[in-house]
Structures are given as structure tokens and as C-alpha cells.
Amino acid sequence: MNEVKTPKKPMMFYYGIFLAVIILFNAIVMPLLSNMRVKEVDYSTFISMTVNGEIGKVEIQDNKILFTDKNEENVYETGTIYDPMLTERLIKYNVDFTGEIIEEMSPILSILLSWILPMALMVGLGQLVMKKFTDKAGGGNSMMFNMGKSNAKIYVKSSSGIKFSDVAGEDEAKENLTEVVDYLHNPDKYKAIGASMPKGILLVGPPGTGKTMLAKAVAGEANVPFFSISGSEFVEMFVGMGASKVRDLFKQAKEKAPCIVFIDEIDAIGKKRDNHIGGNDEREQTLNQLLTEMDGFEGNTGVIILAATNRPESLDPALTRPGRFDRRVPVELPDLKGREEILKVHAKKICVGPNVDFSAIARMASGASGAELSNIVNEAALRAVRRGSKAAMQADFEESIEVVIAGYQKKNSLLTDKEKMIVAYHEIGHALVAAMQTNSAPVQKITIVPRTSGALGYTMQVDEGNHYLMSKEEIENKIATYTGGRAAEQLAVGSVSTGAANDIEQATRLARAMITRYGMSDEFGMVALETVTNQYLGGDASLACSAETQTEIDRQVVALIKKQYDKAMAILTENKQKLDKLAQYLYEKETITGEEFMNILNA
Ligand code: ADP
Ligand code: ZN
């Protein structure tokens, strides 16, 4: 509960500051100004000037006496004392002491100085602060009065709008959204039968899979305005601002209906509400407003809300109940065919050499998202430019996959010969174990050129098709392959290095999942001991079992990995000659293809 609450500053706060400034101004600056013209003298001077006839006018106030000289050029001031003779003396010396105020300053000037000037100062200061704020926030509203307006960007039907054909793969998602487009085209067809469109559609999937693109494509296909705003933009500094932004967004949308409203990263406002102490009032108010707005408009107004998230499980149930975001469209990572299509779509924008095999590239880039694939194509083009070539070739694409996945090659890396040899053994160890287990995917490429990501070597495995299921044996083999690097090091140089850190992590993750989630341990059987909390963001899992069970799980994970390590060790020992030969070859060439590898292996 050590959450830091952002201070709430309602408008009253600013009015308060404003008043304080005016009061201070009047109390300090104004007297200073008037004092410049008033000379303070002592009472005896006042009396002697009266007696000497040097006084023009006198004004007697509660606690001071103001008076002028004969020509009324200077104003003097003195404190009052008990002086019963005062009036008599003034009459005697013929001094004019009417109650008239001797003006210290003209009334207009005084109003100007005490009210208008501070006001002008305040407004100027306010403007300056707001400008600073918005500059920092990357543009937006320049005036205080604009706060609370949604700054949804509107993309009104443009001829260059994104269409479904620009979004490659994702056929299921597109099919799902085609209905929405059809509805926006002729709503009467739906109204006639009494059907209404879902008000909200939730696009869920990992980052970079084209959720934003799909939403834009729906608007582009339907030829309607597209409002887009990110969930985080609703979360404002002041409580109530987010809610007013939501109101404003829906007002704008209703005016422009039919239209699409797209809220990216809706989990920023739509998180489950809970009773945390120091919870986020602002976010909850914003969410409540969103729910109210969604209930408020009829299903057939033509406003369709699309929202994207990669944490659907964290959304508030109120948001996903029927009548709100009740339709869920999964946007998954592309499969082999999808990857090939995405590569082709993006390759249209660059010059591609004559015999580039996109299917091979797609196969190498297994697990890449649409955004990564688009990045790979761009990297290939950049590499072609660097080479001075006019078009991107197969090699450019292959290199750029590694760049996107593993980082750039380190040109002047300081690997010693011994280190390089160890890395060569390590990588060949992985490849050899993989190749010797029939169920493991063959190797595509092995390299020991260090990468900027920190990887010293790299084995690219290629699966020939899509894998939707993995058998227990396949997972075990995979773990054995991960341990193969370390095993080869042990075998070759008799000691181990830090180079296996990542392998260890991966192997442990797989082994743990086998036991806690896939029900592949003999003892626990089909009991879920772990729940996945972040399906689309790395798949973190949290344990759901007793402490004793945890201990037992740990014991089994250790045993499982040990067994696979021993298996890898056995495979490598059996093929020690091949291991030496391959490692030597890789050491000399630095990069070898899967074909070269298999040739030596089968020689
Ligand atoms: P998300 O909103 O899911 O995080 P975006 O829609 O912003 O992802 O996609 C980011 C970029 O990735 C797009 O601008 C596009 O270049 C590329 N991209 C992603 N998916 C696809 C796809 N299916 N087809 C073509 N390009 C894609
Ligand atoms: Zn390794």
C-alpha cells in the first residue's frame, strides 16, 4: 500500500491562488507605490509647519494625519497623538481641513494597479505554465479551458485509407469484422429484422499483430470517420478530466455517426476495479463514465466502438458484459502462411530482387509478429542500400531476420580464440543434439558472430510447418537440445561457462510448464498447479498450490532437466568425433548453413 497518490487540484485551488496573489499585491506593492509620494514626518514637524503657515490641506484619519505643503506639491504623513488642541490650532492658522480626501493616486490608476495588473499577470503566468505542460506532453491543448476535451484524432475518409487487403493474414479477424462493415454500409437491412450490432468489439492479441490496422481498415472499408484515442490519454492529472474526455469523445462521435471509435490499450482505463486503499479514483471515474456512455446510446446509432488490448484477463467484467464489449475478436500471431503474406504485403513497398523465396523467409521468422515482419522487410531494404545494391536479395532478408531477432553483428568484438572455440562447441552441441533426436526440427543456420543483443552464437532452428500441439517427447527433446550447448562445453573443455544462461532459463520454463500446466508428470497428473496471467505478454504464470507441492515441483523440475542433460551428454559422447569436426569447421567459417552441417554429419 505504498502507492503514491497524485494530488487532486480542483479549480477552487486555482481561484484561491488567484485571490491570494491579489491580496498580497494590495498589501505589499500598493503601499510601496503610494509611499513613494508620501513623506513621513514627526508630529512636531506637523505642528511647526502649521504654526509657520506652511500647510495647505489636512486630512485627519483614524491613525494618521495626511497633509500637504502650501503649494500642494508634497504629501506628508504623521501618526496621530492625543492632541485636543488640534482643531483649534488648525482654525487659528487658517488651515483647510475639510474631510476631503487628499488623493494619493488617481482612482483609475489605483484600480488598474490593484486589480487589472495582477489579473493580467496571473493569466500570463497560467498560459506559460500550460504551454510548458502541453509541450512536455507532446502537443495537445494550449489553453487551460481546453482541458477535459478529448483529443481523439479523427481520420476522416481519405482515399489513402487502410483497407482489409492491407492487413495480411488474420483471416478470421477480418471475417468477423466484415459484418460490421456491412452493417455500416446498409444499416436498414439489419434494422428491418430487428438485429442490432454489438456496440463494442474487443480486439485481443499480442502487440504488433495488426489490431490498430484492423480497426482502421474497418473504417476504411466502410468509408466512415475514424476516431482513435489511446486509453492512457484518458488518465489525466485531475480527477474528473478523464470522464469529461469520455463524454466529449462520445458527443463528437454521435455527431459524426456512423463512425468508428477506436480505443487503443483499453486496459489502461478498463482494469478491474478493486478496493485497494489509495486506488485510482480518476481511472475508476473514467471507466464508470465509459460504461455509462456505452449504455446511453442505442445499438443502432451507428457508432461502433473498437478497442484493443493485450491483457484481456485484466479487464473489468462490467466492460465485457453483454451490451458493452461483448464481442471478442482474437488477433493472434501469424502462422506460416500469414507470415508469408505479411512479408509480401510489405515487400511491395521496396525493390525486391528476382528470386527471393518469401516462404523460406517466413519459415525462418517463426514466432515473429506482423510488426516484426514489417521491420524485417525494412531492415533488408536498408541492408541492400548499405551494400550499394538496387534491390533486396534473399541474403538481405535472412540477415535482417537475425538483426531483428538477435540484434546487429558486433563488428569489433573482442572474443579470444579460446572463447570462440567454446562458443563453437556450444552451438554445435545444440545443433547436434537436435539433429540426432528424430523429433527435433533440423537446423537452418548456425553462426558464432556475436550480436549486439549479447548473444555470442546463434542456432536457427526451422520448423517445417505449423505446430499446434507438442507431445511430451517433443518437449523433452527440446529441453535436451537446450542443455546440449552446456553439455558440449563440458565435454570439450572440461568446464562450463556463463554462455548457457538463456538456455537454462528456457529449459526450466518448459520443464516447469510440463509439470504444472500440461499435466505431464506422473505424480500430479492432470492438476493445474499454475495459472497463466499474461497470455499475450510473455505468458507469466503464478503458482496456485501449497508450499509443500511447490517444493515437490521444484524437485521434479530439477530431476527432469538433469535427465535431459544426461541424455544430451550421451548423444554428444557417442558422436564426439562429429562434434569435434563440426565445431572446428564452424570455428573457421563462423557461419554455416543447415545443409553444410548435415553434409558433415552424414559424411
Ligand atoms: P497492434 O495495434 O496490434 O499493436 P499495429 O496494428 O499497430 O499493431 O501494427 C503495427 C505495424 O505492424 C503496422 O503498422 C504494420 O506495418 C505491421 N503489421 C502488423 N500486422 C500486420 C498484418 N497482419 N499485415 C500487415 N502488416 C501488419
Ligand atoms: Zn545455447
pLDDT digits (tens, 9 = 90+) for 481-519: 999 999 999 999 898 988 888 899 999 999 999 999 899
Give CA torsion, residues 357, 358, 364, 369, to 10 deg.
170
In which band, very low, low, confident or very high, does the pLDDT at 14 lie, cut at 50, 70 and 90? low
Sequence-ordered list of residues with C-beta below 8 angstroms from that of 404, at least 6 positions apart, any chain = 365, 368, 372, 375, 376, 379
Give 238 or 187, the one with higher predicted confidence. Answer: 187
Å from CA of 446 to ligand 2 middle: 11
Sequence-ordered list of residues with C-beta below 8 angstroms from that of 19, at least 6 positions apart, any chain = none
Give 452 or 164, the one with higher predicted confidence. Answer: 164
In which band, very low, low, confident or very high, does the pLDDT at 408 lie, cut at 50, 70 and 90? low
Q: CA-CA distance, 155 to 260, in Å (whole number)?
A: 10
In which band, very low, low, confident or very high, does the pLDDT at 399 lie, cut at 50, 70 and 90? confident
Give the position, in ligand 1's atom list, of the atom nearest the Cα of 170. 23
> Cβ distance 533 to 542 under 8 Å?
yes
Q: CA-CA distance, 90 to 67, in Å (whole number)?
A: 12
Q: CA-CA distance, 174 to 343, in Å (whole number)?
A: 18
Ligand with an atom nearest the CA of residue 211:
1
Ligand 1: which residue has its CA nearest to atom 12? 371
Most confident of 261-265, 295-299, 365-369, 444-448: 261-265
Å from CA of 211 to ligand 1 middle: 7
Ligand with an atom nearest the CA of residue 205:
1
pLDDT higher than 60, residue 441: no
Mutate to test the pocket of ligand 1, among 167, 174, 213 (most ligand atoms within 8 A of CB): 213
Residue 258: asked if its preceding bond is cis (omega within 30°), the reply is: yes
Give 289 or 161, the one with higher predicted confidence. Answer: 289
Q: CA-CA distance, 361 to 340, in Å (whole number)?
A: 8
Tell me: the pLDDT tens digits for 530-580?
877 766 666 677 778 888 899 999 999 999 999 999 999 999 999 999 999
In which band, very low, low, confident or very high, does the pLDDT at 18 lie, cut at 50, 70 and 90? confident
Q: What is the pLDDT of residue 145?
A: 45
Q: CA-CA distance, 51 to 455, in Å (whole number)?
A: 102
> Cβ distance 323 to 279 under 8 Å?
no
**What SS3 state is found at 499?**
helix
Give 209 or 8, the one with higher predicted confidence. Answer: 209
Å from CA of 135 to ligand 1 middle: 29
> Cβ distance 369 to 334 under 8 Å?
yes
| 3-state SS track over 113-169 | HHHHHHHHHHHHHHHHHHHHHHHHCCCCCCCHHHCCCCCCEEECCCCCCCCHHHCCC
Give 463 or 199, the one with higher predicted confidence. Answer: 199
CB of 231 shorter than 6 A to ligand 1: no
Q: What is the pLDDT of residue 438?
A: 66
Q: What is the pLDDT of residue 241?
A: 77
Q: What is the pLDDT of residue 38?
A: 77
CB of 169 shorter than 6 A to ligand 1: yes
Residue 393: phi, psi to the nearest 5?
Answer: -105, 175
Provide the sign of the torsion angle of the four alpha carbons 45, 49, 54, 58, taken in this order.
Answer: positive
Give 109 or 101, the one with higher predicted confidence. Answer: 109
Residue 550: phi, psi to the nearest 5?
Answer: -55, -45
Q: CA-CA distance, 587 to 419, in Å (whole number)?
A: 10
In which band, very low, low, confident or very high, does the pLDDT at 143 lie, cut at 50, 70 and 90? very low
Grid coordinates of 170: 488474420
Ligand with an atom nearest the CA of residue 330:
1
Ligand 1: which residue has its CA nearest to atom 4? 208
When pLDDT is averaged across residues 147-173 and rounded to a whole number, the result is 68
In which band, very low, low, confident or very high, does the pLDDT at 307 lie, cut at 50, 70 and 90? very high
Å from CA of 434 to ligand 2 middle: 12
Instruction: Identify the burial level of 481 via C-beta atoms within 10 angstroms of its C-beta, where 0-12 means exposed, 13-18 middle and 19 or more buried.
Output: buried
Q: CA-CA distance, 291 to 318, in Å (whole number)?
A: 8
Overall residue count recorded for the chain in this entry: 603
**What SS3 state is found at 383?**
helix
Candidate from 5-9, 16-20, 493-497, 557-561 with smallest mean pLDDT: 5-9
pLDDT higher than 50, residue 60: yes
Mean pLDDT of the chain: 80
Mutate to test the pocket of ligand 1, among 170, 177, 216, 374 (most ligand atoms within 8 A of CB): 374
Å from CA of 487 to ligand 2 middle: 10
Query: One of 427, 464, 473, 476 is an active-site residue; which one?
Result: 427
**What SS3 state is found at 2?**
coil
Q: What is the pLDDT of residue 479?
A: 94
Q: Is 588 a catalytic residue?
A: no
Grid coordinates of 448: 558464432
CB of 310 shorter than 6 A to ligand 1: no
Q: What is the pLDDT of residue 411?
A: 59
Give 339 or 105, the one with higher predicted confidence. Answer: 339
pLDDT higher than 60, residue 102: no
Cα of 59 vs its chain's centroid, Å: 70
pLDDT higher than 90, residue 384: yes
CB of 270 shorter than 6 A to ligand 1: no
**What SS3 state is found at 475?**
helix
Residue 263: phi, psi to the nearest 5?
Answer: -110, 110
When pLDDT is averaged across residues 283-290 and rounded to a whole number, the result is 82
Note the helical H segments in 317-458.
317-320, 336-347, 358-364, 370-387, 394-406, 417-436
Q: What is the pLDDT of residue 538?
A: 64
Q: What is the pLDDT of residue 191?
A: 83
